[in-house]
Amino acid sequence: MAVIGRSVRSALRLLASRPLTKNAISRGYAEGNEMAFTFAAPNQVFYNAANVRQVDVPSFSGSFGILPKHVPTLAVLKPGVVTVLEADGSPKRFFVSSGSVTINEDSSVQVLAEEAVPVEHLDASAARDALSKAQSALSSASGEAAKAEAQIAIEVAEAVVKACE
């Protein structure tokens, strides 16, 4: 085991000491203050390659912020709020039920949502009613599929209620 550790460390030192080739990509701190952003759901396109400063997304691996020159990433969205800091500094908030976020090497970002709606269009009392109904459905669910569906409905309703706060 120690032999493997030494081999890996020496290989890493060798790679780290090599100069960058012209095809290698060097990433650093964000130099520009904008990035190309596309955000769409089946019912609407919210942004189409628009320049924005930052995007905050809820993912199953944790919520995170995206700035220009973010490391390329692919993540699955969980129910929650996507916040977009536009080029002029104004924040826009959208509730998403699920979807994906892709951050490319050229710093462009795509968010594709199953469902998305501006937070100001959400109805807090309807969200609380939906949560109550989903909790009732879970307590009365008999099969595994019904329990799973009710649990998903609870997760989404809780996220909507939280977004309305």
pLDDT at 13 > cutoff 70: no
pLDDT, position 33:
66
CA 157-162-165 angle, 5° bins: 130
Q: Can you give the CATH number for the domain in which 48 is found?
A: 2.60.15.10
- Whole-model pTM: value is 0.73
Q: Are 108 and 158 found together in one domain? A: no
Query: For the chain, what is the domain count?
Result: 2
DSSP 72-92: PEEEEE-SEEEEEEETTS-EE
Half-sphere exposure of 124 (CA within 13 A, CB side): 5
Within this chain, do residues 135 and 79 fall inside the same structural domain, yes or no?
A: no
pLDDT digits (tens, 9 = 90+) for 27-76: 444 456 678 999 999 999 999 988 999 999 999 888 999 988 888 889 99
Query: Are 80 and 101 contacting, i.e. CB atoms less than 8 angstroms apart?
Result: no
Q: What's residue 18's pLDDT?
A: 45
Give CA–CA dist 113/133, Å, rounded: 24
Residues 87 and 69 grouped into a single domain: yes
User: Is 152 found in the same domain as 110?
Assistant: no
Residues 113 and 138 placed together within one structural domain of the fold: no
Residues 99 and 142 occupy one common structural domain: no
Confidence at residue 12, expressed as pLDDT on a 0 to 100 scale? 42
Which range of residues forms the domain containing residue 82?
Answer: 35-120
The pLDDT tens digits of the residues spanning 97-152 come to 999 999 998 889 999 999 999 999 988 888 888 888 888 888 888 888 888 888 88
* Residue 15 resides in a domain: no
